[in-house]
Structure 1
Amino acid sequence: MTEYDNEPIPGLPGILPPGETIVWQGSPDWRSLARTAFHTRLVAVYFAGLSLMAALFAVRHGAYAGLELTVSLGLVGLGLLHVLAWGSARTTIYTLTNRRIVFRIGMAVPKCINLPLGMIASVDFAGRANGTGDLPLTLIGAPKLGYVALWPHARPLKIARPAPMMRSVPQAATVAALVARTCLAANPNGRIAPIEHAQAQTPRTAAPAFEEAHPA
């Protein structure tokens, strides 16, 4: 049994109330998450530079222990970051319903963060060449969300006013269109522009605890 086995619906903390339906569910692509949230490429470049310096020192002085240690640390560090990215993606489910967006996140302490569509002022989109992308959500008011509790599902550098972000979503352009259209349908007077050509994606697994964001 895992901590997710008691979920009545994968990715949600309870049974949906009458009239609420799931529009889309998805999880981050772990390889893209490793590169963008855990910065594996930057870490690889850093250790490559250290290894080059260690290699030059080893050739000059005939001492290769430092080079072996540097390379080993780099490989272990990159391996751990990839494992964390895989674990984070595996335990994350983003759920869009006709009334809210739910983030099921957390490896050590699973939780669900509930964002009613009426709280969402805008949906941004940052796509990548491989089809994945990030969907930062701008919320109305001052929701009580902590940056550390949200990370890595938080917009980078928005620490004082954390903004939830759906990270490394596959088929991101399609999902962004679907999210924008659903938000607009729920809040016709909002500022979210409708985008066409959206389609749903296959759901994945799910989580327990529940946290609801309220405007201050």
Structure 2
Amino acid sequence: MSHDDFAHEPIPGLPERPPNGEHILWQGRPGTWALAREALALHWVAGWFVLLFGWRFATLVDLQGPVEAARLASPFLILGGAVCALLLAIAWVQARATLYTITTARVAMRIGAALTVTFNLPYAQLASADLQLRRDGHGTIALEMSGPTRLGYLICWPHVRPWHLRHPKPALRCIPDAARVARLLSDAAQARLTRPRLGRTAPGPALAAE
């Protein structure tokens, strides 16, 4: 199910070469801006510091005048800019360390900036896949696991559907052209699960010629 990814990858994003008959259909990673906005709440953080600046300015403007009030309130904007820059740096590192792979047999997620782990999710263990699409084309595809297999929320974060703590859903987070990727994933899973399984059976008695 998972693999500690300290060893050299024979193929980027996969802990080992795919077996015969399995082909890579798509590989991608989160968009930095989209990941910072959705996973790290960049807009909310920026808005909070702007609100603090406005509050400080409003309390001082009558006493100090607009220029002095803006100067005294400006540390909130400076601190907010530093925090937002830090969040963007974290999002960039997370995005660069991540590589999602869709093959004809599974979804693989290489995640983790400090401790890199690869999760292999065969289509047979996926109960459903839900797409959350944004206006700019970025989106998140959340995967619901079937059976007893469960992945930890903290282990997967931020590559997990937000706030589903009790039943974590690993997710291809903030990927570009998400609608096309979702269709590709749906087609691949359906083809894999409806493909007839061929097994070996003992040969039966030969039919006698009449």
Whether TM exceeds 0.5 here: the answer is yes
Correspondence for 1:150: 156
C-alpha distance in 1 between matches for 2:35 and 2:114:
18
The answer to whether the 8 Å contact 1:119/1:139 transfers is yes
Correspondence for 2:202: none
Greater alpha carbon shift after TM alignment, 57-66 vs 158-167: 57-66
The structural deviation recorded for 1:4 is: 7.4
C-alpha distance in 1 between matches for 2:160 and 2:125:
16
C-alpha distance in 2 between matches for 1:33 and 1:166:
11
Correspondence for 2:32: 30
The structural deviation recorded for 1:138 is: 1.2
The structural deviation recorded for 1:123 is: 1.2
The structure in which a higher percent of residues are helix is 2
Percent same amino acid at aligned positions? 37
1:39 paired with 2:45, answer: no
Residues 13-162 of structure 1 aligned to structure 2 (within 5 Å): 13-62=15-64, 67-162=73-168
The answer to whether the 8 Å contact 1:131/1:171 transfers is yes
The structural deviation recorded for 1:68 is: 3.0
Instruction: Answer 1 or 2: higher relative contact order, Cα 8 Å, separation at least 6.
Output: 1
1:173 paired with 2:175, answer: no
The answer to whether the 8 Å contact 2:50/2:76 transfers is no
What do the CA deviations read for 1:74-101 (whole angstroms, capped 9, x no partner)? 1111111111111111111110111111
Q: Normalising by structure 2, report the TM-score.
A: 0.83
What do the CA deviations read for 1:29-62 (whole angstroms, capped 9, x no partner)? 1111111111111111111111101112332444
The structural deviation recorded for 1:28 is: 1.0
Correspondence for 2:200: none
Greater alpha carbon shift after TM alignment, 56-65 vs 13-22: 56-65
C-alpha distance in 2 between matches for 1:57 and 1:160:
44
Q: Normalising by structure 1, report the TM-score.
A: 0.81
Aligned amino acid, residue 147 of structure 2: G
The answer to whether the 8 Å contact 1:142/1:161 transfers is no
Question: Unmatched 5+ residue regions in structure 1?
Answer: 190-216
Aligned amino acid, residue 123 of structure 2: L
The structural deviation recorded for 1:163 is: 0.5
The number of equivalent residue pairs is 187
The structural deviation recorded for 1:169 is: 1.0
1:11 paired with 2:17, answer: no
For the pair shown, the structure with the greater C-alpha radius of gyration is 2
SS of the residue 1:173 aligns to? helix
Question: Unmatched 5+ residue regions in structure 2?
Answer: 196-210
Runs of 4+ in 1 over 3 A off after TM superposition: 60-66
C-alpha distance in 1 between matches for 2:194 and 2:7:
37
Query: What is the RMSD computed on CA atoms of the aligned residues?
Result: 1.9
